């Protein structure tokens, strides 16, 4: 869901940025921040689905800072915007930091003035040297380079397939999906909401060799299913009901693969039209009126540290943008290659295009 109801947007007071914003600009020492964070006693985080990322976002931090409890809610991207905006409209925000995809931040939260700039909150020892990050700088998805900090990225595998029933060697182009033998064997993540389904549609829509004509043909496939539930899609693929899954959660996909299920990523280098690079769920945003501002600072500093990024990267199985974090545990096909012209659909340029894409999709979706 992209457009937030007008009355909800109006209800959110833009005004002053609340006491937490003032604290973000303060000159407290790190020791003072740590002491205040321990008094607050907790930090409230919204993160992606998946037990491994849940552990990565909680256990290591909790071990290092036992006096600061992490309260984490795991949510799909399309659930986060409504929750946060309703709370802000009611003046009772309960969330300190969001770990989510860039679409949620760019399409829903930024237009509603629900986020504050990230850099003022980066006052810990692990966030002072931009040279530690790819390109020698912090990466933001928004054009203002302020509100949505990207800390990991990966090459999006075109789709997931059941290796007992499908051969990756059968695909040299996206157009190979249109062959009759794949009729009734494809599940596409519902592309109307945020997620991998819309991500793939963004690539197809903007690619001169694919475009609207290819999308029309995909939607005309016999028995194409478009689930909204990522686990259901992956279960379908693992059981062979729909052995090709386009756009399920990458975090959950990696979790299913780690459990030994017969699922594989299609190598993106096999398709002549290529694929895209994305942050997936590897970005953070800070909502207005964070209830635990000092614990928030400590949490973000740890998350962006070499230790925190390694925990995240191992759980999500995507490469951190920190240069000093190992990539040995990441599948090679998911690591962005130097010099490859991947479109980065996490950025605002592509996210802005998605409303147009969704309107087009609605005109051709089966009814």
Residue ranges in the chain whose pLDDT is less than 50? 1-22
Q: What is the tens place of the pLDDT at every residue in 186-242?
A: 999 999 877 788 889 999 999 999 999 999 999 999 899 999 899 999 999 999 999
Which CATH number characterizes residue 200's domain?
Answer: 3.40.190.10
Asked whether residue 58 falls in the same domain as residue 150, the answer is: yes
How would you list the strands of the sheet with 277-278, edge to edge? 277-278, 152-155, 319-320
Looking at the domain assignment, is residue 342 inside a domain? Answer: no
Asked whether residue 33 falls in the same domain as residue 15, the answer is: yes
Looking at the domain assignment, is residue 325 inside a domain? Answer: yes
Cβ atoms of 130 and 321 closer than 8 Å: no
Looking at the domain assignment, is residue 345 inside a domain? Answer: no
Domain count within the chain: 2
Predicted local confidence at residue 254, as pLDDT: 84
Closest CA to 172 of 276, 269, 277, 275: 269
Asked whether residue 283 falls in the same domain as residue 263, the answer is: no
Looking at the domain assignment, is residue 251 inside a domain? Answer: yes
SS3 call for 119: helix
The span from the CA of 328 to the CA of 67, in Å, is 32
Predicted local confidence at residue 14, as pLDDT: 37
For the chain, what's the residue count? 367
The span from the CA of 228 to the CA of 193, in Å, is 8
Predicted local confidence at residue 26, as pLDDT: 53
Closest CA to 283 of 116, 104, 95: 104
Supply the range of the domain harboring residue 124. 6-154+279-336
Predicted local confidence at residue 145, as pLDDT: 95
Asked whether residue 92 falls in the same domain as residue 226, the answer is: no
Over 277-296, what HEC string results?
EECCCCEEEEECCCCCHHHH
Looking at the domain assignment, is residue 27 inside a domain? Answer: yes
Asked whether residue 360 falls in the same domain as residue 214, the answer is: yes
The span from the CA of 261 to the CA of 216, in Å, is 32
Predicted local confidence at residue 71, as pLDDT: 95
SS3 call for 74: strand
Asked whether residue 292 falls in the same domain as residue 311, the answer is: yes
Looking at the domain assignment, is residue 33 inside a domain? Answer: yes
Burial of 341 (0-12, 13-18, 19+ CB in 10 A): exposed
Asked whether residue 226 falls in the same domain as residue 358, the answer is: yes
pTM as predicted: 0.72
Asked whether residue 356 falls in the same domain as residue 229, the answer is: yes
Looking at the domain assignment, is residue 344 inside a domain? Answer: no
Asked whether residue 14 falls in the same domain as residue 96, the answer is: yes
Looking at the domain assignment, is residue 284 inside a domain? Answer: yes
Asked whether residue 248 falls in the same domain as residue 298, the answer is: no
Q: How far is CA 294 from CA 45, 64, 290, 341, in A?
A: 14, 16, 9, 40
The span from the CA of 47 to the CA of 73, in Å, is 6
Closest CA to 273 of 212, 217, 210: 210
Asked whether residue 179 falls in the same domain as residue 96, the answer is: no
Asked whether residue 210 falls in the same domain as residue 355, the answer is: yes
């Amino acid at each position: 869901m992209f457009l937030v109801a007008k009355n909800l947007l109006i209800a959110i007071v833009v005004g002053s940025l609340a006491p937490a914003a003032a604290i973000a600009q303060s000159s407290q020492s790190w020791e003072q921040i740590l002491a205040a964070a321990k008094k607050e006693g907790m930090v409230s985080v919204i993160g992606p689905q998946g037990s491994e990322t849940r552990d990565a976002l909680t256990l290591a931090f909790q071990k290092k800072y036992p006096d600061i409890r992490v309260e984490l809610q795991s949510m799909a991207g399309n659930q986060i915007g409504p929750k946060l905006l309703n709370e802000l409209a009611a003046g009772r925000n309960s969330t300190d930091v969001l770990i989510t995809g860039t679409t949620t931040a760019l399409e829903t939260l930024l237009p509603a003035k629900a986020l504050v700039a990230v850099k003022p909150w980066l006052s810990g020892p692990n966030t002072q040297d931009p040279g530690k990050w790819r390109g020698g700088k912090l990466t933001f998805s928004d054009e203002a380079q302020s509100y949505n900090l990207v800390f990991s990225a990966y090459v999006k595998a075109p789709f997931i397939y059941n290796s007992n029933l499908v051969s990756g060697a059968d695909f040299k182009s996206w157009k190979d999906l249109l062959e009759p033998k794949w009729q009734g064997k494809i599940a596409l993540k519902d592309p109307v909401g945020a997620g991998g389904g819309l991500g793939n549609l963004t690539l197809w829509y903007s690619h001169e060799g694919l475009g609207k004509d290819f999308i029309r043909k995909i939607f005309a496939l016999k028995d194409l299913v478009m689930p909204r539930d990522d686990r259901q899609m992956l279960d379908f693929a693992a059981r062979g009901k729909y052995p090709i899954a386009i756009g399920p959660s990458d975090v959950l996909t990696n979790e299913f693969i780690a459990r030994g299920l017969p699922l594989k990523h299609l190598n993106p280098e096999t398709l002549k039209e290529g694929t895209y690079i994305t942050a997936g769920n590897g970005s953070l945003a800070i909502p207005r009126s964070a209830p635990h501002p000092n614990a928030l600072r400590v949490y973000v500093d740890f998350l962006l540290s070499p230790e925190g990024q390694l925990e995240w990267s191992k759980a999500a199985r995507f490469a951190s943008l920190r240069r000093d974090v190992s990539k040995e545990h990441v599948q090679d096909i998911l690591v962005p290659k130097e010099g490859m012209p991947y479109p980065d659909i996490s950025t605002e340029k592509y996210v802005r295009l998605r409303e147009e894409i969704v309107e087009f999709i609605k005109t051709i979706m089966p009814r």
